[in-house]
A and B are shown apart, each in its own frame.
Chain A
């Protein structure tokens, strides 16, 4: 019942996502689709790790699935992180640049 209640609560939380303004059935169904799509696609992408190590892929997929499902609704959180705030855009740009350069410079043996 706990998971059911959690999923039901997701729909309520979508109201905040579309405020201000009315929330239509189409908006809620779109958001639920996005929620399911996000979880399934991220879990599916994690399976790609099998090309590195099968055990690692299994472990990461399992943990990722649990973390994602237990943290629903994800879409409001994702949307907040992807709003038009310059600070957040610059933050993610700098983080990405750092990861790429560190990985490329010191990861010579991995290439």
Chain B
């Protein structure tokens, strides 16, 4: 059913608008949000692979050049889009479920932002039009600012404002780069631009083309939270509600891979493109993990670790081989799941203790054994401990960098994994194993069941993908073979 392809964007978009308009009817809003959230992961699973041309404008064959041109905004739906959109749908469902059960009176604008963000990342994944991608990238940035500002955590407004100000640098720069590409090729369709570049219609070494790469690349750094934007990215994660942060990090990962895949199709002929990605990825890994090691606020610690993990994804894509890109995309899928699990799990601890400083916590294993066990497994998965999903993707990345002739990168990747392991051992000890400080009050404060349920679902995925990685790796590999 190819008709379902545009519905993946339209359904959350319409739901966002309706919920915002009718939010004063609390019960109806709750039921409607819940039903739509259930539909989100189901639509991509029921849809057939294929293309959707908006307005019904089919591609046109130019008889002179024999090139095919795309006059309409085109959505392309393959296995990669299916697996990522289904995952983002599932995560949206879990986050909305946690939110609906947490508050008696729900906020229409907050639900609006959650659905709007989901619609935006879905469109970014599906679209074959670089300007269309930019529009949804902007919508996503605003939704992210709103999700952070709407949280009840101290200084969340300030952090949201900072993110918006930095966005006002990153986004126009990216738009300028897209404008340069439009000026050079006369099109905003990615397939058309790639065809023009790969068939020599555009001089790949011209300063304008190279500058367009630099500008779009800078916008991508902002979208992905790679250095120099790693500080603000980890900051917004720590200032959002835990379930909001779980969704925010998935938005970041999806926007990162959707933009980089578009850039890869256009600029893959330039070796400097891969060098740039590898450079910033390594920087993110080093800075992210070293900063995580020194944090005392565990939400900030997870934020920095999430940034460090983004480096692994970039590394896979920067190495540029089929195996490496597959590993990078598999790592992206794993990071979405694992980091969401960690944010929700640590959010449960905040819920039970009202404390985020690890120096003031301790002895929580006795009070919350289920949460602590699930967090431990999630931490081990992020560190790349077998047989969990993080291990599979990181092993693939280490093998890929060895195959590409970069043993230094393999060693670095292993070192980052070990440092991540140290972060979790340290945090797990101070929060759960050491004696409880006298001042800490944890009696009678239960973790919401919805949070345990959400963590359980994500944990099953972490273990399942660790034991059976081929379920997704084969499909991703086929997709990558198609774009290379």
Contacts and interface: CB of A to CB of B under 8 A. Distances in A.
A31 B293 contact: yes
Interface range on chain A: under 10, 10 to 19, 20 to 34, or 35 or more? 35 or more
B359 A34 contact: no
Contacts of A67: none
Contacts, number: 139
A34 B210 contact: no
- DSSP majority for the B interface? helix
Contact of A37 (B276, B357, B409, B419): B419
Interface string B276-297: 1000001001110111011010
A97 B270 CA distance: 19
Interface stretch (B10-18, B117-125, B345-353, B410-418): B410-418
B429 interface: yes
A24 B435 CA distance: 13
B294 A22 contact: no
B272 interface: yes
Contacts of A104: 207, 210-211, 213-214, 272
Between B213, B217, B419, the greatest number of chain A beta carbons within 10 A of the residue's beta carbon is seen for B419
Interface stretch (B37-45, B47-55, B69-77, B228-236): B228-236
A92 B412 CA distance: 24
Contact of A29 (B210, B419, B426): B426
Interface string B165-183: 1100110010000000000
Interface range on chain B: under 10, 10 to 19, 20 to 34, or 35 or more? 35 or more
Nearest to B292: A34
B227 interface: yes
A42 B408 CA distance: 11
The list of the 9 closest CB pairs from A to B, nearest first, reads A104-B214, A92-B228, A34-B293, A111-B272, A104-B210, A34-B290, A100-B214, A30-B293, A101-B214
25 contacts: A21-B359, A22-B359, A26-B358, A27-B359, A31-B293, A37-B290, A37-B419, A40-B415, A41-B286, A44-B411, A45-B412, A48-B406, A48-B409, A82-B287, A89-B162, A90-B165, A92-B227, A93-B228, A101-B214, A101-B215, A104-B207, A104-B272, A107-B210, A111-B205, A111-B272
Given A33-B419, A79-B291, A93-B169, 7 more contacts: A27-B359, A30-B423, A37-B419, A82-B291, A86-B165, A89-B228, A96-B218
Interface of A: 17-18, 21-22, 24, 26-27, 29-31, 33-34, 37-38, 40-42, 44-45, 47-48, 75, 78-79, 82-84, 86, 88-90, 92-97, 100-101, 103-108, 110-111
